[in-house]
Structures are given as structure tokens and as C-alpha cells.
């Protein structure tokens, strides 16, 4: 007996909502009981492939599918579009899909054009009146104009990838229409109508991720987000023009090539977990402390510089990690380890764990490791991960085991 068919429709729909729409459709062939179940599944993911200019089968399928689907409310609706620059999705089709979004009270919408270099999809104005959206993900879209009554009263997460705006003002209006927005993800390159200053003023925002590739033009970000709990940036060409203090900040991951690191770090002093890959400033001497900081991760390329200056300002640090970033900040700068004139407080009273990911074996790295072993009184474990041969790992283990350790319980692990 088909035991799964004995389950209630509600339970079957919940199970089917975890499957791909293509697979859900296939279940209609199982038996009469399954013939129409797919029409009521509240989660849909659709693929539109227009790489072949003469093929419109996917468009016809998507439209027929949406016309046949009966769920009054859709939790999730994903459009994954593959096109060429000269063969975009017709605007009339986009407008049809957005009408479905509004009529079915979609909560999670993803409109993603996955072929980079394709013509951005123009968004119809009607989308900006969708009251039900909680999550909105847009990739390779173009936003030319927004209505005066634009409103996203329920939107909590907004993701903009390769998004084009007709102006910086349109972008600002869109953000201001999201009164409960908690998370903003921006993935460049982006175009704000030629405006190079991008303003993000969302006082209630809790998470901000900004990422750009090396082919992005330089932009200046003006960020007013005092309620942030999480900040993540990867900037190759752009930089922060202004940034406010964030007293509720818990985690920050900063990989920035340009700009003033001192001004940037002064806004991050409340962080508990901090990851840094920054351009060294030879005159850097922060007048502030990172009293909440318990976990610090540094790029192995610029470690010896930043470690000197930051260790003395984080009295409660418990975990120190070194990791190999794709770092250009020390490309033209030769940095040597300089032992501090006094032992930082965190080494005496709080540091418990040191982890070195992709240890390169340079003289500066070796000196840092030996210094930490010799001065960290509460250190429980130092882990060094290296791509060296087994023979080299054994030699390295013997070398470090022979060095003085301030903590008698410290274990050294090399793998």
C-alpha cells in the first residue's frame, strides 16, 4: 500500500514544499490522488532559459504554470532567468509575473538573472506596492522610477545584486519605504545613475553586507546605521566616506583596501567578534579600546602590523585567529614584527586560543607565534595549519615545543 498517500493534504503539501518545482510536477503522475496537489504547493521555483533566441518554450511553460496554480497565498516565488543581452525577457512577461506576486501575497520573492552581462531586467512600478513581501532578492535588475506611494511595510530582508538605479535618490527612497528592514545585502558592481556617493540611511537596520569585485568603479559609501549588529564588507575599490558609531555591534568582518582605517575602526569598538584586513597606517595609534572584543581574526599578510596596535587595546580578548585573505594591502609595504614594549593585558589575563590557518613559515609569522607562546599566561591551545610536508610539520612542531611557554597547560597542534 502507498502509505504516504494516506497522509493529509496539508502534510503532503508541507513535504512537497521542500522539493524543487520540477520534481513536484512529476508527482502528478503517481496516482489520481496526486494529480492536482502541485497546484496548491506554496513554494515555487521557476527557470526561464532564453539563451536560444528562437526558443520560447520556458516562457510559455512559466505562464501556463502560474495560470494553473491555485494556492491563494505563496510563501516563496523564485524566478531564475538565463538570457543574453540581445534577447531579454519581454517587459510584458515581467509585468505578468509581478501581478501574480501581488495577487498571491508572496512573502519571499527572488527575481534573479544569472547570466552576467545580460541586459538588466526593468522592474515595473507595480512591484513597489506589494504589501506582503518579507524577503526580496533582486539580481541584475533596473529600477528607473518608483511611485510616490512606494511602501514595503513588511520587508525585513533586501538583497540587491548587480542592481542598476536611475539615481541615488531612487535608491534612498526605496530604503526609506522599508520601516522594518533588518538586513541589507549589496553585491556590486552597481550603477546609481552615475552618482558615486551611495547613501545608506536606515537607523533601524541590524545587518549590512557590502561586497564588490575588482572591476567595480570607485564609490563612496555614506552609512548611517547606528543599530547594526552585524557588518560585513569586501571592497576592492570603494571606501567609506562616513560611518557612524554602532553601539549594538556584535560582529564585523572588514576587508577594505582604501580609506582611513582609524576612522573606520573607531566606529567598531563595541564589536565582540572582529575580522580585519586593512591597509596599514604607519601613524595609527587608536585612543580607544575594544573592551567587548573576545574574538579577533587578522589577515596573515598584514598581521604583524595590526597585531601590534590592536592587542594593547582589547583587554578581554579570548580567541586570536590568523587567516590567509586575498590581501593586497601589503603589496608594496614591507612589514616586520616589532615586539611591544610591554605585554598587553589580554595576554596576561584572558587569551585562551590561537589558531593559525595556512601558516606560511615566514620570519615574521614565526616571531609572532613565539611571542604569543612566551607571553600568553592563560593560553590553552595554539593550532597551526600548514600545507607543508609531514617532515616539515614535524620539524616545526619540535621547534615550537622547544620554545618557552608562559602557560604550562598550552597544547601545540600542527596539522
* C-alpha to C-alpha distance for 158 and 66, rounded to whole angstroms: 24
Asked if the structure places residue 308 within a domain, the reply is yes
Find, among 329, 294, 331, 287, the residue nearest to 309 by Cα: 287
Asked if the structure places residue 189 within a domain, the reply is no
Q: Which residue has the cell 533582486?
A: 138
Asked if the structure places residue 395 within a domain, the reply is yes
State whether the Cα torsion 358-363-368-370 is positive or negative: positive
CA 276 to chain centre: 15
Q: Tell me the average pLDDT across 200-207.
A: 95
C-alpha cell at 8: 493529509
365: containing domain: 227-415
Beta strand pairing status for 381-385 and 353-357?
parallel
pLDDT the model gives residue 354: 94
Are the beta carbons of 374 and 346 closer than 8 angstroms? no
Instruction: Tell me the pLDDT band of 302, cut-offs 50, 70 and 90.
Output: low
Number of domains present in the structure of the chain: 1
Asked if the structure places residue 374 within a domain, the reply is yes
pLDDT the model gives residue 295: 96
* C-alpha to C-alpha distance for 139 and 79, rounded to whole angstroms: 10
pLDDT the model gives residue 333: 42
Asked if the structure places residue 21 within a domain, the reply is no
* C-alpha to C-alpha distance for 229 and 239, rounded to whole angstroms: 20
* C-alpha to C-alpha distance for 29 and 143, rounded to whole angstroms: 41
C-alpha cell at 325: 585573505
Asked if the structure places residue 197 within a domain, the reply is no
* C-alpha to C-alpha distance for 15 and 153, rounded to whole angstroms: 30
* C-alpha to C-alpha distance for 340 and 148, rounded to whole angstroms: 58
* C-alpha to C-alpha distance for 198 and 181, rounded to whole angstroms: 18
pTM to 2 decimal places: 0.86
Asked if the structure places residue 187 within a domain, the reply is no
Asked if the structure places residue 373 within a domain, the reply is yes
* C-alpha to C-alpha distance for 81 and 93, rounded to whole angstroms: 12
pLDDT the model gives residue 153: 94
Q: Is 296 exposed, middle or buried (0-12, 13-18, 19+ CB in 10 A)?
A: buried
pLDDT at 329 over 70: no
C-alpha cell at 331: 603589496
Helix 57-68 vs helix 91-103: crossing angle, to nearest 10 = 20
pLDDT at 117 over 70: no
Find, among 195, 208, 199, the residue nearest to 158 by Cα: 208
Does residue 250 or residue 36 have the better pLDDT?
A: 250
pLDDT at 258 over 90: no
pLDDT at 331 over 70: no
Helix 363-375 vs helix 390-401: crossing angle, to nearest 10 = 40
pLDDT the model gives residue 334: 43
State whether the Cα torsion 117-121-122-128 is positive or negative: negative
Does residue 358 or residue 384 have the better pLDDT?
A: 384
Instruction: Tell me the pLDDT band of 52, cut-offs 50, 70 and 90.
Output: low
pLDDT at 174 over 50: yes
* C-alpha to C-alpha distance for 207 and 362, rounded to whole angstroms: 37
Amino acid at each position: 500500500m502507498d502509505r504516504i498517500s494516506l497522509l493529509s493534504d496539508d502534510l503532503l503539501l508541507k513535504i512537497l514544499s521542500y522539493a524543487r518545482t520540477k520534481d513536484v510536477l512529476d508527482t502528478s503522475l503517481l496516482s489520481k490522488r496526486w494529480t492536482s496537489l502541485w497546484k496548491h504547493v506554496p513554494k515555487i521555483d521557476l527557470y526561464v532559459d532564453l539563451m536560444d533566441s528562437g526558443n520560447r518554450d520556458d516562457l510559455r511553460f512559466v505562464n501556463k504554470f502560474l495560470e494553473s496554480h491555485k494556492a491563494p497565498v505563496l510563501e516563496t516565488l523564485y524566478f531564475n532567468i538565463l538570457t543574453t543581452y540581445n534577447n531579454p525577457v519581454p517587459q510584458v512577461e515581467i509585468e505578468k509575473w509581478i501581478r501574480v506576486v501581488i495577487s498571491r501575497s508572496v512573502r519571499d520573492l527572488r527575481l534573479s538573472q544569472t547570466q552576467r552581462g545580460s541586459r538588466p531586467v526593468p522592474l515595473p512600478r507595480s512591484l513597489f506596492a506589494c504589501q506582503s513581501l518579507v524577503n526580496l532578492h533582486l539580481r541584475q535588475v533596473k529600477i528607473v522610477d518608483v511611485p510616490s506611494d512606494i511602501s514595503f511595510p513588511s520587508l525585513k530582508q533586501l538583497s540587491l545584486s548587480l542592481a542598476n538605479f536611475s539615481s541615488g535618490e531612487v535608491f534612498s527612497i526605496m530604503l526609506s519605504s522599508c520601516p522594518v528592514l533588518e538586513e541589507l545585502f549589496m553585491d556590486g558592481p552597481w550603477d546609481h545613475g552615475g552618482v558615486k556617493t551611495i547613501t545608506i540611511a536606515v537607523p533601524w537596520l541590524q545587518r549590512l553586507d557590502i561586497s564588490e569585485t575588482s572591476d567595480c568603479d570607485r564609490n563612496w559609501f555614506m552609512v548611517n546605521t547606528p543599530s547594526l549588529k552585524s557588518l560585513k564588507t569586501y571592497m576592492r575599490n570603494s571606501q567609506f566616506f562616513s560611518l557612524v558609531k554602532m553601539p549594538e555591534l556584535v560582529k564585523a568582518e572588514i576587508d577594505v583596501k582604501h580609506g582611513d582605517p582609524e576612522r573606520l575602526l573607531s566606529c567598531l569598538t563595541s564589536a565582540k567578534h572582529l575580522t580585519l584586513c586593512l591597509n596599514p597606517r604607519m601613524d595609527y595609534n587608536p585612543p580607544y579600546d575594544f573592551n567587548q572584543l573576545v574574538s579577533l581574526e587578522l589577515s596573515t599578510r598584514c598581521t604583524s602590523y595590526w597585531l601590534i596596535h590592536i592587542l594593547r587595546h582589547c583587554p578581554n580578548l579570548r580567541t586570536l585567529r590568523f587567516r590567509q585573505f586575498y590581501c593586497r594591502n601589503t603589496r608594496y609595504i614591507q612589514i616586520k614584527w616589532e615586539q611591544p614594549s610591554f605585554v598587553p593585558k589580554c595576554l596576561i589575563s584572558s587569551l585562551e586560543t590561537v589558531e593559525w590557518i595556512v601558516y606560511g613559515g615566514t620570519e615574521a609569522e614565526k616571531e609572532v607565534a613565539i611571542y604569543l607562546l612566551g607571553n600568553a599566561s592563560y593560553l590553552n591551545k595554539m593550532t597551526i595549519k600548514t600545507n607543508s610536508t609531514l617532515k616539515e610539520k614535524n620539524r616545526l612542531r619540535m621547534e615550537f615545543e622547544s620554545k618557552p611557554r608562559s602557560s604550562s597547560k598550552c597544547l601545540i597542534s600542527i596539522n
